[in-house]
């Protein structure tokens, strides 16, 4: 995890200067220019060591390194396209959260990392089997290091899963009730907290909102966060109300698509 | 405040990282922010450890506040220890922590990093 990095993983001052120059150039060029595509490729190549460095940070989690590098590279490309050289920020500083965001999203999509309870749950079966095997082989309970080596998951994850195991075998309180008692009516029991779902959705939503084109994002925020009417927004942004209406619709559609949600049946396609 | 000292050795970084993550959860940081913090602690340690005196300790201090966790990691370093600010570790630390501060004094090097709960608009 924290081994010394190979010397190639080091962005020297030259490389940084190259990157700054290329990014400035790239943002001068029109989107369809072939020179722009070439610059973009060169920038991607220049920063791949950063992607590899970041991906390696997650290599203990049972995901193939190639996949992590690949999703990281998507983050890098997004960062290159969105980077604004005029803001005077170091590109690698700007790109790091974007690359990490993409890697984290990959874990979330595959059900790992962020969705801790589920990951821990999935680990349970493997962990229990390994625990039984190792106990037999060793004649004593295995250590976390031994478990982690056996199931090829890093130690933190094993500790987490062990914690979850404790919760997993928890006994519902209503077992304690005497027969005939209507315990589930008790306010302490059996309430589904809908807040969690909301928090999760909000977190997901935040990610995709950030990726919307700026005009759509601004208008959606005005509409749904600031609760402005379309007419008010039109006045603020300086476009027609029809245009606002179109942008809201397009923005929502894009959000649904990024979240993998189907369009509502009432909405017209196309 | 929570304090802990571990041997200045890579093997103990995960203990520090887990502690940081556990405390961050108490400070109400989001899961993403906790994940960032874990990585930041990793990077801070990998910057510090090459400078630590042989057989010395890595001291960590955690200052907890609502929506904010400050982590200071300190090693004693006879060599004075100029941190490598050209490498990825420094870049990543800077990008993930809300703020980073480095101090060198009395033969020790300290990295103080803070992770703050960001406003929802990020």
Contact A92 B13 (CB under 8 A): no
pLDDT digit string, tens, across residues B22-68: 888 788 887 778 888 989 999 999 999 999 999 999 999 999 998 89
Residue A104 backbone class (left: φ over 0; alpha: ψ -120 to 50; beta: rest): alpha
- What is B78-120 written as a DSSP string? TT------SSHHHHHHHHHSSEEEEEEETTEEEEEEEEEPPPT
Residues in chain A closer than 8 A to B94 (CB atoms): 93
Q: With the CA atoms of A5, A11, A14 and A19 taken in that order, what torsion angle do they form, in degrees rounded to the nearest 10?
A: 160
Return the pLDDT at B49: 94
Q: Which strand (E) or helix (H) includes residue A91?
A: helix A91-109
Cα atoms in the Cβ-side hemisphere of radius 13 Å centred on B81 = 23
Largest interatomic CA distance in chain B: 45
Alpha-carbon distances of B49 from A55, B6, B10, B79, rounded to whole Å: 22, 12, 8, 12
Q: Which strand (E) or helix (H) includes residue B2?
A: strand B2-7
Of A9, A57, A90, the CB nearest to B39: A57
- Three-class SS state of B3: strand
pLDDT digit string, tens, across residues A207-266: 788 888 888 888 888 888 777 888 888 888 888 888 888 888 888 888 888 777 666 655
Give the nearest chain A residue to B9 (CA atoms): A2
Contact A92 B91 (CB under 8 A): yes
Residues in chain A closer than 8 A to B14 (CB atoms): 1, 155-156
Q: Which residues of chain A have pLDDT under 50?
A: 1-10, 112-116, 166-178, 181-188, 267-270
Contact A50 B88 (CB under 8 A): yes
Residue A85 backbone class (left: φ over 0; alpha: ψ -120 to 50; beta: rest): alpha
Sign of dihedral through CA atoms A19, A25, A30, A36? negative
A84 to chain B, closest Cα gap in Å: 16
- pLDDT exceeds cutoff 90 at B102: yes
B101-108 mean pLDDT: 89
Residue A105 backbone class (left: φ over 0; alpha: ψ -120 to 50; beta: rest): alpha
Of A3, A49, A114, the CB nearest to B10: A3
Paired residues of B37 in beta bridges: none
Return the pLDDT at A67: 87
Return the pLDDT at A12: 65
Strand order in the sheet with B68-76: B2-7, B57-65, B68-76, B108-116, B99-105
Return the pLDDT at A268: 43
Contact B31 A116 (CB under 8 A): yes
């Amino acid at each position: 995890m924290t081994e010394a990095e190979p010397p190639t993983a080091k962005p020297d001052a030259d490389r940084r200067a190259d990157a700054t120059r290329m990014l400035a150039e790239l943002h001068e060029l029109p989107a369809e220019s072939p020179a722009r595509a070439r610059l973009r490729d060169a920038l991607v190549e220049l920063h791949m060591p950063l992607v590899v460095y970041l991906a390696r940070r997650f290599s203990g989690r049972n995901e193939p390194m190639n996949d992590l590098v690949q999703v990281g590279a998507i983050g890098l490309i997004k960062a290159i396209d969105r980077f604004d050289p005029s803001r005077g920020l170091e590109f690698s500083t700007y790109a790091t959260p974007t690359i990490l965001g993409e890697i984290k999203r990959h874990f979330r999509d595959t059900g790992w990392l962020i969705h801790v309870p589920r990951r821990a749950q999935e680990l349970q079966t493997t962990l229990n089997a390994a625990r039984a095997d190792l106990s037999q082989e060793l004649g004593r309970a295995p250590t976390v290091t031994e478990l982690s080596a056996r199931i090829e998951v890093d130690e933190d994850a094993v500790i987490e899963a062990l914690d979850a195991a404790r919760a997993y075998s928890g006994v519902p309180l209503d077992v304690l009730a005497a027969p005939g008692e209507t315990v589930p009516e008790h306010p302490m029991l059996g309430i589904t907290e809908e807040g969690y779902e909301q928090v999760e959705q909000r977190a997901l939503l935040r990610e995709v909102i950030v990726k919307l084109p700026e005009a759509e994002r601004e208008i959606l925020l005005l509409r749904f966060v600031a609760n402005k009417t379309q007419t008010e927004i039109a006045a603020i942004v300086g476009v027609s109300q029809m245009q606002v209406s179109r942008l809201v619709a397009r923005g929502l559609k894009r959000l649904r698509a990024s979240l993998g949600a189907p369009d509502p049946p009432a909405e017209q396609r196309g | 405040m929570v304090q802990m000292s571990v041997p200045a050795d890579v093997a103990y970084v995960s203990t520090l990282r887990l502690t940081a993550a556990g405390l961050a959860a108490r400070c109400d940081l989001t899961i993403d922010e906790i994940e960032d913090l874990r990585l930041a602690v990793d990077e801070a340690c990998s910057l510090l450890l090459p400078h630590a005196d042989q057989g010395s300790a890595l001291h960590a201090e955690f200052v907890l506040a609502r929506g904010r966790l400050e982590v200071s990691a300190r090693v004693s370093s006879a060599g004075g220890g100029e941190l490598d600010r050209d490498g990825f570790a420094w870049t990543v630390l800077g990008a993930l922590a809300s703020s980073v501060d480095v101090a060198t004094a009395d033969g020790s090097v300290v990295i103080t990093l803070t992770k703050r709960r960001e406003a929802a608009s990020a």
